[in-house]
Structure 1
């Protein structure tokens, strides 16, 4: 958090606080050592918008929301870049294996062994999987995404 403003103890901080929230600027108001109202910014990247919002509030102008929409796709992607990268990488690997090897990949990584019988895919019982020592089949479906 970043302290960006201190109001005297006798001044009501709520009008400014409401104005900042309408501008989509997340903040907290905490008392400082002297009992004044210290405004703390939750997201430092919004600092350029704070001064604009304070200027609007002092001039009595209506709130102009910061150029951030928390529901937008771009905002969400910025918040989870590693997760999104791993998800996309997993999807690409799955599609590549499916394209290169076809349904044989599904048969190899399925929970229980499967085989073709009379033109249909038949699943063998779980006991056959465990007695044959293919314990890895218990976790490999976690990594497979049906495309």
Structure 2
């Protein structure tokens, strides 16, 4: 389902108060600039009608109103999971693919399926894996290997944690910057974090969305710092927690639970900060134009 345009207003119109009200009501929305106007988008026709009704009543947001005395219409209640999926299909699709890959590979136990998706192909016997040169796979046209490790997960907890964070961060990027940008960033972060891990660790088995997650986290944080917006606004404690976890993963305390793709985490975060810098600077320039 495609987003629906609620209204188009001049760039001089201050929507910040109304947007804050939508955030307080937990109403999915997006504001973009097109042809010299700012456009407010909703997830579907019903939601668009309710948002327009709300704007006619509280155009300035009325931040001081007591929402306890305001009974929103049904369309303005917290969106269901199905509504969120319809509004963020690219985010949902990436997760569905991860779940399918997890089922096919048996979370890493099915080596016959797993070797088709790893950064380096490998053969195996009952004792060990034998990795083949990456160049040989690329010469054979297996370029997908540069990206597909991000789809691999090695345990239920590994998959669950990555899926939850991708759902949280991916939705934000898709709502604010669109599904094409989300897919592009996901592939970029996957490619570069996989490459960083291969460069650092050499022939080894690694996978997971965590490199992409750190890329999205860096992107959202820096973008929001340069061009503040409600969609990318996250508690600073989230960033602190993720950075603390990044550092903790580099210590023996966490490594006892298994190998951690630290280079992928760091590589994704650095690239995400760069894309956030570029995207945020462009958005800030547009706002000032």
Question: With structure 2 as the length reference, what TM-score do the two structures score?
Answer: 0.29
More strand by share: 1
Structure whose CA Rg is larger: 1
Structure in which a larger fraction of residues adopt helix: 2
